[in-house]
Structure 1
Amino acid sequence: MKYRIGVDTGGTFTDVALLAEGTGDITVTKVPSTPHNSAIGVMDGVRQILSENSISAGDITFFTHGSTVATNTLLERKGAKTALITTKGFRDILEIGRQTRPDLYNFRARRPKPLIPRDLRWEIDERVNARGEVIKDFDRKDINVLAEMIKKEEIESLVICLINSFLNKDNEVKLKEMLREAFPELSITISAEILPEIKEFERTSTVAVNGYVMPKMNFYLRDLENSLEDYGVKSSLYIMQSNGGIITTDTAVEQPVRTVLSGPAGGVIAGTDIAFQTDIGNLITIDMGGTSLDAALIENGEPQYTTNSQINNFPINVPMVEMHTIGSGGGSIAWIDSGGALRVGPHSAGADPGPVCYDKGGTEPTVSDANAILGRLNPDSILGGKMKMNLEGARKIVKEKIAEPLSLSVEEAAEGILKVVNANMVRGIRVVSVEKGHDTRDFSLLAFGGAGPLHAVDIAHELESKNVIVPPSPGINCAAGMLIADVRHDYVSAFISTTTNIDYEKLQQSLKVLEDDARSALKQQGFDDKHTQINHSIDLRYVGQAYDINVELASVEVNADVLDKTIQDFHDIHEKIYGFSRREESLETVNIRVSSFGLIEKLESRKLEEGSGAEVEYTTRYVYFDGEFHETKIYQRPNLYMNYEFEGPAIIEQLDSTAVIYPGQRVRVDSFGNLIIENATAEDKEDAIDD
């Protein structure tokens, strides 16, 4: 039998999902992450899951990986020594930015320092005008001067971003070729290959990020590739992108900026499959791990995308699944600020040393410690018994650092930690829902990640979501999503015109150029027309606006009727997001886009077997809910069968996660093994606890 493997590297654990192509069965495992070298954790996970299932490495036909290397390199500012070459007079674009304050009411707010310092931002005397005409070519002498500076400064990565190169890339391409000849080993990024679109600051920022993380990603992916090959894995290595698609290692090495939300995007793709299984098309997804929470939104079964994102306040304008990340995870540290208020995060205990309850040397109270104290986490062990818990250590540290300073009992302090972190997460979720014109009451909450199901019910109460869904393997959901992701490539080209004066022939020709490139790339990767899907879209804005909205084109054969339909769609989307539209105002086009998909064969999700209708065995322990302990049923997730229903209070334990059910809540197991938890109102919850 042949198998597929998906690996998601998180801040605390590395998750591995193994899919049997013959049966559709998914097997999962977790191993501790190795932040100093993520490849070690990946290989540990691969060896463990193959050993546990007696499978040969040669039976792996498809291997995909969600990497945090680019993200962590950017957040920790541990990237390569990078230089920028730009047009004379534009050296300070990264410093000037958009003149917007990062925090409107904070007088001490400061922008992060640019990734490339001013002394490594170099100018070249050349110019392309606003019509894409080269009005000044650069001098060969300038190249010699730049080459000497690259040598002198021992530059590891070079970024080239010239003004108006999105209209004419010739100067960038020539500059790259000349410098490549002089420095064949140097990492070189040009904006025309990464982001050929208008807005010089966002374009420069995006390519700066790409160049900054490129050498480290190159080393990591090539090392992992070699390790897999040495171990006997014959499959090529595919990398998850931030847009929910996968790309080859070669593409990821050249364009690592497309992987900054690599792992979390896999969870959202898995969410689209769960939306289909449950027939619940509107989902808010929360992926809570050891260090952070990623929130995203699925509407009518489709993820929401954006081309305007920020990571650590650095604009990145490549297509991504729209999500919001906050520093709230199981390892988030609880602390008391100078005003005596309890705070949680954004700092995390991470994988090493981790929470105190993990007994690996942690010394700070964390969210996981609070869950252990309240009985929500198994007080003896987790990960199927592989990791023993130090409950007494957790109680001691929470007592010393939180409970006693606030004159609370240990349980009250632990519950306070959970309330604070839940409030933080609710605020983060509103960024991708309420602030985008969505009513959270129209959505169900899909909770995954190792810690997501622990907090899902509390979050759903605050959001007034319809119900909570917990997938069969919540802790491995991102890795599982990678197994069903398609190969995806995104192409963009500037197309600036008012909609009243648009040249339809030129528009269709420009779309065809992008589509031909897209089809050619997929054909080279072995996808025929039957397994190829092409989507076309256009960026529109009101004349005079600074920001645009991407709208899908109703047809690639764009004529007046198709454009009119697209314009009406733009007005509708604008009104939903911003609360108004100006249907009488003129519009202008900004960019045209083509997204191509190489469709991977999808396997049917396996359904659970019908149960006997008998009561499922459970144990009990006391768990703290809203100020007091309740005797609570403890179920083992593998024992639950199709259509089994029960009522809380309950805890559902499994290898990769734990779910909390409040008193009075009803739970049903659907045919695919998803837990459907009815979301009671706050009043219902209080009544159930009183009873």
Structure 2
Amino acid sequence: MRSKYRLGVDAGGTFTDFVLAEKTGDVRVFKSPSTPHDGTIAIKAGLAQISEALGESVESIIQQCDLCINGTTVALNALIEQKGAKVGLLCTAGHEDSIEIRLGHKEEGYRYDADFPPAHMIVPRYLRRPIPGRVLVDGSEHTPLDEAAVREAVRYFKEEGVESVAISFVWAVRNPDHERRAREIVQEMMPGVFVCTGTEVDPQVREYTRTSTTVVNAYLSPVMRRYVERIDDYFRSLGVRHPVRYFQSNGGLAIGEAMQGRAVNAINSGPASAPQAGLYVAKPFDIDNVITVDMGGTSFDITLTKGGQTNLNKNIDFLRYRIGVPMIQVETLGAGGGSICQVDEYGMLQVGPESAGATPGPVCYGKGGTRPTVTDANLVLGYLNPKAVLGGSIRLDAEAALEAVREHVAEPLGISVERAAYGISTIVNLNMVSGIRRVSIERGYDPRDFALVCAGGAAGMHITALAEEIGSNTVLVPKVASVFCAFGQIISDVRYNYMATEPMRLDGTANLDTLNTRFDDLEQRGTQHLQADGFAPEDISASRSAEMRYVGQIHECSVDIAGGVITQDRITTILADFHKRHEELYTYAEPHNPVELVNIETTLVGQVSKPPVRKLTPSGCTLNDALTETRPMLFDGEGHWVDTPVYAGERLDPGISVEGPAVVEEPTTNIVVRPGWTLVLEPNNCYRITREG
């Protein structure tokens, strides 16, 4: 680290998390209630806590930071709540309804549901304006752009109070001249209005995906711009020495200037940093296959990293909108500590997705909640200390939790309270396991080959049960689990993705000179961007991928490609990798069929120095010194209560083994060690929990 501190700020829906890493290797954790209307208020409150803890002024702390990093749900919340800008769309005449036709099918799982409602249109029909003019697949101009039609559309947008303009023309990825000219006209007639084009936002083949992505970007960018300007202005007022970085959905950092015009890259900003943090805590154990699970109060987020590479999604339906830009694959479920448990009209126990949230919260919080939650069930099972005081103010009410489970679950099902509570825990675990299988088995990965990394305040009580269900024998629980995404931000690199469309058959007719030139152009552009951002050439790396398909297919699969000049001999290797990946994804390959290239992509990374890890040293305490009490807990559905030791994590020395069943209590989470598992605190401030395979 070049300076004394590094600050990570993760603005969630309920809390804003702060991680301050010191040059010594110490890591401090803070939390402040989020303020969605103005993120600087929550940041000010959190920085005030940090200032008090360190005995330094806020200005002094910020001026000693080499990086201040912000992850935010601003773009995501605007999309969920439909509070983006009023958008107008300029599109090729005849294609006004492509974002509504949506390739003629509904989302997966609803394809045959006649009653499933259509998605809300960000751009209503009357604001989609057809523009005559046509470019062909080879990039030649078939019909000139009708500039008069563009000007007429812009005048209409002004009358309708449009705040943002999206431009997407057919085959503009082969020749962007029409889009560029239309953009010039919009900027001339509507100065100050945000405008973006498909070839800038998502330059790939697939007209619907490109248009949808551009529309979403136009919808969110004005919101993101206002947020970034507020945050940047605030940190500048504190004397920050380096530009604030913002976390992107692709798992990397970017400066605010880049994020203001590419808000679509920030949709999954929060959970996208979890995989990097998972790899970081797993590295000392020589583990590079990790599944990171983050269980908070409302949701359960899952990411998978294989061989040090995290799954990326592209061209997916996200909140019912097609998004084409790369995003860390995050599987999100309505399964958190606040998930409400109830018996439906068919007599079936349901857990989630409805949540009690922070207000009123679980019944045991005593804040007005009346329906039992997963947290209430964990309290009944003994996993939580009934005398605990959460956040310094919430005293748990075990009796209220037990009565809620009895009234709403046990009595309707005609079973005991303990069986009802264990049933709640089992169902939420199975829901979470289903999500884990979607990011692993359904993508060709065996979850037994992965370690589970635990994140979030509620995950520790379920993590060994989840590992048993998926067959994993190793669980890692870092001490910073409750602020894991903020921690992931401070150890992440700057990352930019550049894409181009280059359709060609990969056979003897392939134009390799053109292909090599396009890759070189993308990498040169990215390198210049990073050098302007202050990175030295030795700190910049590039990786390549190509989207290919069998001739006649409509979907591509992405294959990694090594750097360097692409020769005909290397094409043979690339084709072999494509056949292998196709078989992994779809269980078959067709090596005898011709293959065509569709899109190419380069990822440029500016490598950021990582904060050091402070090694724990034994203090001479024994296991008994960490024992705080023994209380009955339930680990099966048959009512076999077990007197289980409870240990204070702050008093555990590294290297001491804790045999399950046991519970380790940390200030922000509890770790349940089920029978058959062994927990050890490792010197890198991470608990490793294992069982014999």
Give TM class, smaller chain: over 0.9
* Partners of 2:87 and 2:219 within 8 A in 1: yes
* Partners of 2:499 and 2:599 within 8 A in 1: yes
Instruction: Sort the Cα spacing of 1:209 and 1:394 in 2 relative to 1 into closer, same or farther, 3 A.
Output: farther
* Partners of 1:13 and 1:351 within 8 A in 2: no
Aligned residue for 2:272?
265
For 2:398 and 2:88, how far apart are their aligned partners in 1? 50
For 1:64 and 1:477, how far apart are their aligned partners in 2? 14
Two-structure CA RMSD over aligned residues (Å): 2.1
The residue identity in structure 2 corresponding to 1:619 is: T
For 1:209 and 1:391, how far apart are their aligned partners in 2? 46
1:581 Cα deviation (Å)?
1.3
Q: Answer yes or no: is 1:131 the counterpart of 2:138.
A: yes
For 1:486 and 1:669, how far apart are their aligned partners in 2? 28
Q: Answer yes or no: is 1:147 the counterpart of 2:154.
A: yes
Aligned residue for 2:320?
313
Once the two structures are superposed, the pairs formed by residues 14-413 of structure 1 within 5 Å of their partners are: 14-20=16-22, 22-57=23-58, 58-102=63-107, 103=109, 104=111, 106-383=113-390, 385-413=392-420
Instruction: Sort the Cα spacing of 1:105 and 1:151 in 2 relative to 1 into closer, same or farther, 3 A.
Output: closer
SS of equivalent to 1:181: helix
The residue identity in structure 2 corresponding to 1:622 is: P
Q: Residues 399-442 of structure 1, C-alpha deviation per residue, up to 9 Å, x if partnerless?
A: 33333333344433332222221111111111110001111121
Q: Residues 540-597 of structure 1, C-alpha deviation per residue, up to 9 Å, x if partnerless?
A: 1111111112222223211012221111111111212221211222111011111111
For 2:615 and 2:170, how far apart are their aligned partners in 1? 55
Instruction: Sort the Cα spacing of 1:623 and 1:428 in 2 relative to 1 into closer, same or farther, 3 A.
Output: same
1:349 Cα deviation (Å)?
2.5
1:231 Cα deviation (Å)?
4.6
Once the two structures are superposed, the pairs formed by residues 618-657 of structure 1 within 5 Å of their partners are: 618-620=627-629, 621-626=631-636, 627-657=639-669
* Partners of 2:299 and 2:335 within 8 A in 1: yes
For 1:459 and 1:253, how far apart are their aligned partners in 2? 39
One of 590, 599, 606 as aligned partner of 1:598: 606
Instruction: Sort the Cα spacing of 1:39 and 1:391 in 2 relative to 1 into closer, same or farther, 3 A.
Output: farther
Aligned residue for 1:589?
597
1:679 Cα deviation (Å)?
4.1
1:38 Cα deviation (Å)?
4.1
Aligned residue for 2:495?
488
Q: Residues 369-408 of structure 1, C-alpha deviation per residue, up to 9 Å, x if partnerless?
A: 2223323233333556354334344334433333333334
1:173 Cα deviation (Å)?
1.4
For 1:473 and 1:382, how far apart are their aligned partners in 2? 20
Aligned residue for 2:688?
676
Moved more, 523-532 or 637-646: 637-646
Aligned residue for 1:688?
none
Instruction: Sort the Cα spacing of 1:574 and 1:149 in 2 relative to 1 into closer, same or farther, 3 A.
Output: same
Q: Structure 1 vs Structure 2: percent identity of aligned residues? A: 37
Once the two structures are superposed, the pairs formed by residues 403-552 of structure 1 within 5 Å of their partners are: 403-500=410-507, 501-552=509-560
Aligned residue for 2:12?
10
* Partners of 1:11 and 1:290 within 8 A in 2: no
For 1:262 and 1:642, how far apart are their aligned partners in 2? 34
For 1:33 and 1:350, how far apart are their aligned partners in 2? 14
SS of equivalent to 2:293: strand
The residue identity in structure 2 corresponding to 1:651 is: V
For 2:257 and 2:390, how far apart are their aligned partners in 1? 35
Moved more, 156-165 or 412-421: 412-421
The residue identity in structure 2 corresponding to 1:522 is: L
For 2:17 and 2:486, how far apart are their aligned partners in 1? 6
For 1:635 and 1:41, how far apart are their aligned partners in 2? 33
SS of equivalent to 2:270: helix
Instruction: Sort the Cα spacing of 1:484 and 1:172 in 2 relative to 1 into closer, same or farther, 3 A.
Output: same
1:260 Cα deviation (Å)?
1.3
* Partners of 1:403 and 1:410 within 8 A in 2: yes
Instruction: Sort the Cα spacing of 1:47 and 1:319 in 2 relative to 1 into closer, same or farther, 3 A.
Output: same
For 1:636 and 1:566, how far apart are their aligned partners in 2? 53
Count of aligned residue pairs for this structure pair: 680
* Partners of 2:626 and 2:649 within 8 A in 1: no
Instruction: Sort the Cα spacing of 1:185 and 1:380 in 2 relative to 1 into closer, same or farther, 3 A.
Output: farther
The residue identity in structure 2 corresponding to 1:15 is: D
For 2:574 and 2:161, how far apart are their aligned partners in 1? 50
Structure 2's unaligned 5+ residue stretches are none
Instruction: Sort the Cα spacing of 1:544 and 1:275 in 2 relative to 1 into closer, same or farther, 3 A.
Output: farther
SS of equivalent to 1:97: helix
* Partners of 1:30 and 1:383 within 8 A in 2: no
For 2:618 and 2:383, how far apart are their aligned partners in 1? 29
Instruction: Sort the Cα spacing of 1:542 and 1:503 in 2 relative to 1 into closer, same or farther, 3 A.
Output: same
Moved more, 246-255 or 70-79: 70-79
SS of equivalent to 2:412: coil
* Partners of 1:633 and 1:649 within 8 A in 2: yes
Aligned residue for 1:689?
none
Instruction: Sort the Cα spacing of 1:121 and 1:518 in 2 relative to 1 into closer, same or farther, 3 A.
Output: same
Moved more, 90-99 or 400-409: 400-409
Instruction: Sort the Cα spacing of 1:230 and 1:276 in 2 relative to 1 into closer, same or farther, 3 A.
Output: same
Instruction: Sort the Cα spacing of 1:555 and 1:588 in 2 relative to 1 into closer, same or farther, 3 A.
Output: same
For 2:411 and 2:122, how far apart are their aligned partners in 1? 43
Instruction: Sort the Cα spacing of 1:369 and 1:226 in 2 relative to 1 into closer, same or farther, 3 A.
Output: farther
* Partners of 2:127 and 2:157 within 8 A in 1: no
* Partners of 2:456 and 2:481 within 8 A in 1: yes
SS of equivalent to 1:333: strand
Q: TM-score, normalised on structure 1?
A: 0.94
1:198 Cα deviation (Å)?
0.3
1:628 Cα deviation (Å)?
4.0
1:47 Cα deviation (Å)?
2.2
The residue identity in structure 1 corresponding to 2:628 is: T
The residue identity in structure 2 corresponding to 1:92 is: D
For 2:112 and 2:691, how far apart are their aligned partners in 1? 36
* Partners of 1:618 and 1:633 within 8 A in 2: yes
1:189 Cα deviation (Å)?
2.0
1:163 Cα deviation (Å)?
1.0
Q: Answer yes or no: is 1:559 the counterpart of 2:567.
A: yes
SS of equivalent to 1:98: helix
For 1:278 and 1:111, how far apart are their aligned partners in 2? 48
* Partners of 2:316 and 2:323 within 8 A in 1: yes
Q: Residues 255-275 of structure 1, C-alpha deviation per residue, up to 9 Å, x if partnerless?
A: 011111111111111112123
1:641 Cα deviation (Å)?
2.2
The residue identity in structure 2 corresponding to 1:427 is: S
Instruction: Sort the Cα spacing of 1:188 and 1:593 in 2 relative to 1 into closer, same or farther, 3 A.
Output: same
